[in-house]
A and B are shown apart, each in its own frame.
Chain A
């Protein structure tokens, strides 16, 4: 098992495995997007209170979820990097931190577009909105720290420590609704028990969530391949690969 992980994590093998996975995740992603977008934007009935404005959840909820999921996976990769010194973990961190920041920004901006007609304001200092904003600052801090350290190995370890320290923020975001409950609505989606949303609206939402996850995976794999090429350009297998 251990040997297998090490073999998989070697940049050369990962490069090839990622190359075979990428077409499949992109096809899956396209199909889910197709179903989610048609189902969400056309087939689902308008909300009895919010009209068509509710449809922004098909972008807002998946990107908010992804902003946190990516952070959690970054923190796990950070632990792997610090403990086992697996180079691949840092490559994943390097390529997915900007993606996480982008999803956080998307969640905040779509929330603002929805908030203007619904709450009558672009922004409120609600606990959940604020923690999402803090998450954006933490992402940007990680990116800034990486950019400031010239040595790659040091940048990897410094950002790993910062990511692990930052993971404290994730539970605060999740439980903030319960703690400082103000304007943001409570949870609608649950894996167990009945969701508080009609099935015709719910199914496209799950499809969109899965589509966003597939999209993030595809982008991370593509970017990781590019990063591997950049970092290992001196190695023999890439020299041989380029000659062919």
Chain B
């Protein structure tokens, strides 16, 4: 076991994550259902008028994405903690941030990717037009990994507490605001036919910064004994 390469341990964890997700696939559907229901509430609560819906659709979709991502994040590390698998990760000789990155990639594939695909469909229901939907997809592809990376820190900090879900929402949501601002302003700019490269570049910058730093902070948070 000492000779396990970083590369191999990364793939082992990823495979393990995907396998668990496939065996409990009904749990994966809940955040998707939540996402679809939230999006349905907005036309009912505000107005079904197409021109207004088209205008507020990017914001609605992104807020629903934030909430569904957080809801899905709630189960990250939790079963590992209960089954003792988390302790095995903590005492493993492999670097913990790398293993966390593998888990997050697995989590992204099983919960964020379906959300992105579903939002492409539901954006049409909210009367969004093609170029805006394309930009929406780009912001989602850049933004959702960032949401997971930031959210994992909050998840790790609150993991061992009672009522941890609400506390995680409270401490993580403020950090999601820049992602929300850049994403929605990109989609709105695209609707008006303006260039969106600036907003996408900022998102990419934040993602590149979070990719090495966030797993490290998550690892530090997981090591706190509570």
Q: Contact check, B158 vs A145: say whether CB atoms are below 8 A apart.
A: yes
Least CB distance from A78 to B in Å reads 11
Check if B48 is an interface residue, CB within 8 A of chain A: no
What is the distance, in angstroms, from A74's C-beta to the closest C-beta of chain B? Answer: 15
Give every chain A residue within 8 A of B162 (Cβ-Cβ).
Answer: 148
Contact A149/B161 with A154-B226, A158-B221 known, Cβ cut-off 8 Å:
yes
Contact with B along A130-153 (1 / 0, CB 8 A): 100010011011101100111101
| Interface size range on A against B | 20 to 34
Tell me if B212 is interfacial: C-beta within 8 Å of chain A.
no
- Which stretch in B36-44, B74-82, B90-98, B174-182 binds the other chain? B174-182
B146 CB to nearest A CB, Å: 12
Contacts A/B (CB < 8 Å), 30 sampled: A82-B220, A130-B177, A134-B174, A137-B173, A137-B174, A138-B175, A140-B170, A141-B171, A144-B170, A144-B171, A145-B158, A148-B161, A148-B163, A148-B167, A151-B226, A153-B225, A154-B224, A154-B225, A154-B226, A157-B224, A158-B221, A161-B220, A161-B221, A162-B153, A162-B171, A165-B150, A165-B175, A165-B217, A166-B174, A172-B178
Which A-chain residue is minimally distant from B173 (CB atoms)?
Answer: A137
Q: Does A28 contact B (CB under 8 A)?
A: no
Find out whether the CB atom of A162 lies under 8 angstroms from the CB atom of B157.
yes
Which residues of A sit under 8 angstroms from B175, Cβ to Cβ?
A: 138, 165-166, 168-169
Interface string of B198-226 (1 = CB under 8 A from A): 00000000000000000001001100111
Contact B167 A144 (CB under 8 A): yes
Measured CA separation A161–B157 after assembly (Å): 8
Residues from chain A with Cβ under 8 Å of B158 in the complex:
145, 148
> What residues of chain A lie closer than 8 Å to B178, measured between beta carbons?
172
Would you call A149 and B226 a contact (CB within 8 A)? yes
With A145-B158, A148-B167 known to touch, is A161 a contact of B153 (CB < 8 Å)?
yes
| Interface members, chain A 161-205 (any B CB < 8 Å) | 161-162, 164-166, 168-169, 172
Size band of the B side of the interface? 20 to 34
A141/B170 in contact, CB under 8 A: yes
A142 contact set on B, CB distance < 8 A: 171
What residues make up the interface of A, taking CB atoms closer than 8 Å to B?
Answer: 82, 130, 134, 137-138, 140-142, 144-145, 148-151, 153-154, 157-158, 161-162, 164-166, 168-169, 172
CA distance A150 to B160 in the complex (A): 11
Query: Complex formed: what's the CA distance from A150 to B224 in Å?
Result: 13
**Using Cβ atoms and an 8 Å threshold, which residues of chain A touch B171?**
141-142, 144-145, 162
Question: Which residues of chain B are near A137, meaning CB under 8 Å?
Answer: 170, 173-174
- Chain B residues near A172 (CB-CB < 8 A): 178
- Beyond the given A154-B225, A165-B153, A165-B175, please list 6 additional residue pairs across the A-B interface where CB-CB is below 8 A: A144-B171, A149-B161, A150-B226, A158-B221, A162-B157, A166-B175
User: Distance in Å from the Cβ of A168 to the closest Cβ of chain B?
Assistant: 8
Enumerate chain A residues within 8 angstroms of B161, measured Cβ to Cβ: 148-149
For the complex, what is the distance from the CA of A150 to the CA of B14, rounded to whole Å? Answer: 34
Tell me, in angstroms, the Cα distance from A137 to B177 when the chains sit together. Answer: 11
Q: Name the residue of chain A whose CB is nearest to the CB of B206.
A: A168
